[in-house]
Amino acid sequence: MKRAISFVITAWLFGCGPVDDIPPRPTDTADAADTADAADTAEAADTAEAVDTETAADTEAVDPLAEHAVEVRLPSWAVALPARLGDGPEQPFLLDTGAGPLALTPAVADTLGGGTVSHLAIGTHGYTALPFVRHDLTLVSQLLGLPLAGNIGHDVLQDEVVAIDYRRARVYLLPAWSDAYDFGADVPGPFATADLTVVSGHVLVAAARFEGLTEDTPVIVDTGTNSAVIAQSLADALGVEGDGRTVLVGSSSIGGGLTVSSSIVRLRACAVAGQTAEQLWASIVPDSYLAGLAPGVGAKAILGGTFLREFLVVVDYPAGKLRLAPYASQDHVFDQFRAVGVEILAKDDGYRIFTVFAGSDAEAQGIAPNDVLTAIDDEDVAGMDLDGVLARLRGEPGTTVVLDLEHAGVPYAVTVRREDLLPAL
């Protein structure tokens, strides 16, 4: 794999030294004064220009990482990375540390032919001669509300240090790690570091400590999964039981985008390298599911977006390290289960109900899977993105919202209560 290198050229200003003073003629006192004033003025201007130059340099130095930054979207805590194939337009790709080769949707792959991408650009970074596989991301795209073009994972990024800033919705692609990097006041540091083991050529495994256990548990670190996933045996050891709902537990090529029968639970706390996230939600899956993703290491969980979002996350591929630094504030984090009891898909014909939570007020009001959502509190959803729709469904438990829907083409409206769908432990 070859990577194009971009260069940044900085212009430096050099000044000449002063010319030796020439004593003025006695009769030229006024001229000398004028000359001196002019010299003072010129010197002052030079000084001001030098100060301005230094100030500008200092201002530019505030964010030395800017040239490596790529603005991203974070739908449901997945990382959507803009990238270009060849001379084409930017398209959203799932940044997926659980994936191996570059994966393209069938529609995108059909426009290229063959099995290799000649050039992929992410910000100022370029990658050439990349083999790709086909991967259907239709359901994942609908859950995230973005027309994903594919997955970008290990085989593309294996020479990079990938820093994900969940608070500022930004990814940095760095040539190497330095402890001197300053990610701003939001990340006071220091970074905690955990070892990463690469399994099956691309799956990243670290050690985590779950509250209630006395030993570390091998976990898969996967930015392509928006939640946490735990094996049934780990749920049994933690003494947690789910509510029987079925959810999409894997959106990456390692999971195949399959809907696995699972139950949703709260976990009290989980720590990696001493950095702890509390009350994250997880889905319980059969042990065989995780065993197939990372054979031979005994991985019992996947840590995805609901864990990673609480930190500035650095996946240091060359060094085999995971670096985590907590944010000074967690006000960018919200609880998606304090909401109306439905899950939404963004489909070509509009927003459709994907899941109705059993026992919820939404179920009591007669909302059914596949119903079309047309308005929220009399505001048409046609002009909203999926994040905007979900934000309007979230809120303080006990408050209500009016939903306009269609069932089999027949419109109806209901007033439905927001609830604490997955209470904290």
Q: Cα–Cα distances in Å, from 66 out to 34, 47, 259, 300, 387?
A: 47, 29, 39, 37, 27
In degrees, to the nearest 5, what angle opens at C-alpha 225 toward C-alphas 220 and 231?
A: 50
Residues 41-69: tens digit of each pLDDT: 555 555 445 445 444 444 444 567 989 99
| Cis, peptide link before residue 190, omega less than 30° from 0 | yes
Q: What is the pLDDT of residue 29?
A: 43
What is the structure's pLDDT at 374? 98
Query: Contact 383/143 with Cβ under 8 angstroms?
Result: no
CA pair distance 232, 239, nearest whole angstrom = 10
Partnered with residue 173 across adjacent β-strands are 162
pLDDT of residue 241: 81
pTM exceeds cut of 0.85: no
Please name the residue ranges forming H helices in 145-248.
154-157, 232-238
* Whole-number Å distance between alpha carbons of 225 and 335: 17
pLDDT at 286: 87
Mapping DSSP onto H, E and C, the string for 69-124 reads EEECECHHHCCEEEEEECCCCEEEEEECCCCCCEEECHHHHHHHCCCEEEEEEECC
Largest CA distance in the chain: 104
Q: Which token pair is 95?
A: 């940044």
Per the CB < 8 A criterion, the answer to whether 298 and 231 are in contact is no
Give the residue ranges of the chain where pLDDT is below 50. 1-36, 38-39, 47-48, 50-51, 53-61, 247-259
Which tokens is 306 given? Answer: 């609901």
CB 283 within 8 A of CB 355: no
